[in-house]
Each structure stands twice: as C-alpha cells, then as structure tokens.
Structure 1
Amino acid sequence: MSRTKTHVKKGDNVVVISGAAKGAQGVVLEVQPGKGRVLVEGVRMIKKAIKPTQQNQSGGFQDKEGPIHISNVKRVDAPVKEKKKKVAKKKVKA
C-alpha cells in the first residue's frame, strides 16, 4: 500500500488559484489523496437532497462543500525556504 504525498493537509489555510472559485480562501476540511481532491471550507458549496427521517422529518436540502482538485489550491502560510549563499573560496598561490 503506497501513500500519496500532498502539499496540503487538514487544517491548512489555502487559496484557490484557478477554477470557478478562484481567489477564495479557506481551511482544508478533508484531503482525498487517492482521488487528488480536497474539501475547502466555504468553497464550491453544493446542495444535497435529504430524505425525511425520524430525526429530520421535514427533509429538504443541505448545503455542503464539494471537492476541488488539489492542484487548484495553494497554501497561504507556506514556509519559505531560505537559499544558502555559496561563499567563493579564494585560491592562494604559493
């Protein structure tokens, strides 16, 4: 069983960089690495029909987040890698 590495994880703050929700920011609620998708809070809201049950007798519609492709999001507070400066060594002639 191999594990797919992703650049975001649950709880990260992300911004949508392409698609219909471009520019939207939110917190990652769920990562689906096998499908390559993420659920972002408040982004791509869809309506799901709910059947009447004993707990919810009226039924109706429920708003929930829909998945977006993981390549369409970028971490907002991503750590910046600092580049090491190479120090030039002087050659000493003897």
Structure 2
Amino acid sequence: MLDISKMKKLGLFAGGVLFGTAGIQVLSSKDARKVYTNCTAAVLRAKECVMKTATTVQENAEDILAEAKQINEDRAAQEAACVQEAETAEDAE
C-alpha cells in the first residue's frame, strides 16, 4: 500500500516540518536576539563610517572643483591679457 517513494516523501515532509519548527525556536531565542542586535549595531557602525568617508570625498571633490574653476579663470585672464598686449603692440606699430 505505501511504497518506498511515498514513505520517503512523507519522511522528508515530516523532517522539514520538524526542522522548520526547531528553526523558529532557535531564531526566536534570547541568544539569537543578541546576535541580531550585535549584527544590527555593526551595520550601523559601518554605515556611520561609510557616511563619514562619503562626506570627506564630497568635500574634497568640491575643493577640487573650486580650484579647477579658479585655474580656468586665471588662464582665461592671462590669455585675455596676452591678446590685449598683442593688439596694443599692433596698434603701436
């Protein structure tokens, strides 16, 4: 009546239910709660570290951008002065 494959499937189902029930008990224990709390605290510390690093990188990028703009403005002013000197020299001749 009950062949081996049906017994095997029934055994696997019963084992799964037992494992699931035991797993729920383990996951809801006080020790597991401590692990979850410590893991969450570690993630929050990591987040804080990443945010500090991101802020530093952003500040550095803003400084670099400001310096680059200043360099371009200085270069444009020098080129304008050179062009003006060249025009003045041509007018003097």
TM-score with structure 1 length normalisation?
0.23
Larger Rg: 2
TM-score with structure 2 length normalisation?
0.23
